[in-house]
Structure 1
């Protein structure tokens, strides 16, 4: 298939620049069986699920991954962390008029230094020279890595709202945005309805914002992202299967983690504990082994995320749903509204 097969026209004013006043105040487009399109609210979600269903969330926490520094020559460098490797080193994208050479240093603030260790594909390996480690350095010097389509500088509001209420495992440089719609009252309503919840971890990298640059999508290569599925989630999936419940993935990252595990383990409908890296690129024709329904935000045209959504819900059906969402003035992308998708 071709990249242009996943295009749609989006008026720029529909790109949400700020979150809804309350997390669960977002709108929800239910893409039901066949061509059913039902305009709802996130607070209707309990009624759209059944007792015994299982919602799976990503508990990754966004780190302040955007840092600005100066080269010894005085040139400005923008650093976007892709992945923290250990206590001192990390991979990053660098924005500079001239890329720094291995062995050179980048000054951050008055007295903190990063050493360029080398390149790994299109990323740079950097070493933080302070004693307290990379994570403490980023908390001190970094900014929230808002997506490029959000025009304002990161604020205190973004520090809170560009995190899910489940966020507990630091390491992501982008939020698992489908989870941003959940707050305590909504979770209480789901529990009262008999709907279970569980979590996994997938640390989203900056590659999530990288466009597909090739027209033939089979030539696209995903960046690696680390994920972990623990025993409690595996038991929750088995329990949901036993009672006839459905596994509802909250977001594309949950989908990729669960389906990566199933592929790696050669399993169907259940998974075992696992941790590792995934480069899984889900496109139409993929056979889903674990997830039964998908809750997700509206994604960029021609993006890998939209391709995943089309793989699950059908390309023509999803593009019709996107056209409907545009016509009904839904809010798009990270701070936008959501859709609940039944399979084709």
Structure 2
């Protein structure tokens, strides 16, 4: 844990501490096949790093006496659209989230749907209608405010309204016309194979604009092997937003504004969490959800209310201090508390903005399955909070051992 001064404040953690040299040839542009053949670097609490593949995951989890394996069952929507402007030229639009209501309703809309979007080549587009037509399906897009026209929101987003004919719902429109939103560092457009490969095999609830990539390594064969071992996957949902790719702000970590993401939790999820103790999370989004549940319990215990958005610095006394004291003796106690108080009717829907960083105490899991992450990212910051071994040592070993990095790359199993 990072050294504190006499007031209990963490010494300044600089964003530059989460940089490393990642050469382009180390970034995987396509996944390996089969999925479970991806490399898996085991990072123990102490001792030597161990090289394996995801086929070894069941035996590793058995060694750890894991009693539940958690995955994020969000489904990536084909949220990238290429439309044509009236006077020529292609316009790239990236859907982020609905302007009103939740994703499920926005995708089920029958004739019109309004979204917050990012636009590439926006300087070449004024306020006219852009369109796309294919096999009887016609889609048009205009600025939501027809009087003011195209206005840039804070954060560089735009409000757009989509209208269509020839398809039952907006979800159907995206299935036909949309493209998979591959991360920008892949430096390529998606192809037909990405519709399958950039989706986990257990994806169920549409709403993400980026994949929970640690789960991409699981295939049906691996899931069957885990089930035979008594470890069927346990599900939770966090819809991954584009903020996952936002780099850390310059300066210290306390200067960074964390993105918020939507979580969906059921009573069955809380019951399972309350009855298990040796949990393993698949991916940073699963861990972020599990830890957010603990802090939702803390906030309600202190205030009598559940926030709609769990704040970035909720786990800390302030943005520069270590994790604060809590009223619960264990993670399981917090889950029992939520079972009594959480608004489970039948699904609890909230957003989390918490930032997991060095000095944070992880309570929910004994190990984390995750990919190798981008330099200068909040994901790497989270990994640093989980590792007993300095993260740079682990990443150096992975680079020297020809592990593949980022979304379609290999993974590691971090023991806490």
Of 231, 239, 249, which aligns to 1:213? 249
Indicate conservation of the 8 Å contact 2:66/2:279, yes or no: no
Q: What is the aligned partner in structure 2 of residue 320 from structure 1?
A: 393
Q: What does the per-residue CA deviation read over 1:77-100, in whole Å, with 9 as the maximum and x for residues that have no partner? A: 211111235331221111124175
Residue ranges of structure 2 left out of the alignment (5+ in a row):
1-12, 100-105, 145-150, 299-327, 339-343
Q: In the aligned structure 2, how far is the partner of 1:311 from the partner of 1:72?
A: 50
Q: What is the aligned partner in structure 2 of residue 148 from structure 1?
A: 184
| Structure 1 residue 222, shift from structure 2 partner | 2.2
Indicate conservation of the 8 Å contact 1:92/1:124, yes or no: yes
Q: What is the aligned partner in structure 1 of residue 10 from structure 2?
A: none
| Structure 1 residue 215, shift from structure 2 partner | 2.5
Q: What is the aligned partner in structure 1 of residue 316 from structure 2?
A: none
Q: What is the aligned partner in structure 2 of residue 60 from structure 1?
A: 74
Of 12, 16, 20, which aligns to 1:4? 16
Indicate conservation of the 8 Å contact 2:249/2:255, yes or no: no
**2:357 aligns to what SS in structure 1?**
coil
Indicate conservation of the 8 Å contact 1:75/1:96, yes or no: no
Q: In the aligned structure 2, how far is the partner of 1:329 from the partner of 1:105?
A: 48
| Structure 1 residue 284, shift from structure 2 partner | 0.8
Indicate conservation of the 8 Å contact 1:25/1:42, yes or no: yes
**1:5 aligns to what SS in structure 2?**
helix
Alignment of 1:188-207 (within 5 A): 188-207=224-243
Alignment of 1:14-163 (within 5 A): 14-50=26-62, 51-72=65-86, 74=88, 76-85=90-99, 86=106, 87=109, 88-98=113-123, 104-109=128-133, 111-117=138-144, 119-122=152-155, 123-130=157-164, 132-163=168-199
Of 309, 324, 331, which aligns to 1:269? 331
Of 253, 262, 279, which aligns to 1:247? 279
Q: What is the aligned partner in structure 2 of residue 279 from structure 1?
A: 353
Q: In the aligned structure 2, how far is the partner of 1:196 from the partner of 1:143?
A: 31
**TM-score, reference length from structure 1:** 0.91
Indicate conservation of the 8 Å contact 1:146/1:174, yes or no: yes
Q: What does the per-residue CA deviation read over 1:145-168, in whole Å, with 9 as the maximum and x for residues that have no partner? A: 111122333222211111101111
Q: Mean Cα displacement is larger for which, 127-136 or 331-340?
A: 127-136
Indicate conservation of the 8 Å contact 1:66/1:145, yes or no: yes
Of 375, 386, 406, which aligns to 1:333? 406
How many pairs are equivalent? Answer: 337
| Structure 1 residue 219, shift from structure 2 partner | 1.3
- Of the two, which has the highest radius of gyration? 2
Residue ranges of structure 1 left out of the alignment (5+ in a row):
none
Indicate conservation of the 8 Å contact 1:81/1:206, yes or no: no
Indicate conservation of the 8 Å contact 1:72/1:106, yes or no: yes
Q: What is the aligned partner in structure 1 of residue 208 from structure 2?
A: 172
Q: CA RMSD in A?
A: 2.1
| Structure 1 residue 312, shift from structure 2 partner | 1.2
| Structure 1 residue 188, shift from structure 2 partner | 1.8
Q: In the aligned structure 2, how far is the partner of 1:21 from the partner of 1:97?
A: 38
Q: In the aligned structure 1, how far is the partner of 2:76 from the partner of 2:16?
A: 31
Q: What does the per-residue CA deviation read over 1:277-313, in whole Å, with 9 as the maximum and x for residues that have no partner? A: 1122211111223122110000001111010111111
Q: In the aligned structure 1, how far is the partner of 2:87 from the partner of 2:186?
A: 31
Q: What is the aligned partner in structure 1 of residue 322 from structure 2?
A: none
Q: In the aligned structure 2, how far is the partner of 1:264 from the partner of 1:225?
A: 14
